[in-house]
Structure 1
Amino acid sequence: MRDRRTGRLGTYMATQGGEVYLRPSTGGTEWTTTPANVEPYGDEPTILVVSIPDSRYPTPEPDPAVAA
């Protein structure tokens, strides 16, 4: 993903509190940006992460800032 605000490239980690968390693809410290500033970059592969709910932990409410 590319952060249009800074021009930095990173891997999407999470969206929380209306902010998108990205981390450099080579590792390093995460940074935040807004969903409006995040865009796909080039022909990088799309990775789908599947999470199976665990009844021992509550399911967080969906973030309304993230489009379905």
Structure 2
Amino acid sequence: EAYESLKKEFEEKFLEALRQKTGVNAQVKIDVEKQPQFIEEWQRLQSRLEAQYLTLLDEYKRELAAIK
């Protein structure tokens, strides 16, 4: 879900930049997944999501340990 959201956001930004630069409202199909900026941003987002996941996992482990 986060991946698709980021992908859509990058597509919209790219098309808007293209419209501003050319003045044409073209329906261009761009593979944002191959763009270096997209790849970098996705890696940053993955790192943040993983950190959040690991934090929650540690909390749940502590809660389970307290129950035992």
Give the TM-score taking structure 2 as reference length: 0.22
More helix by share: 2
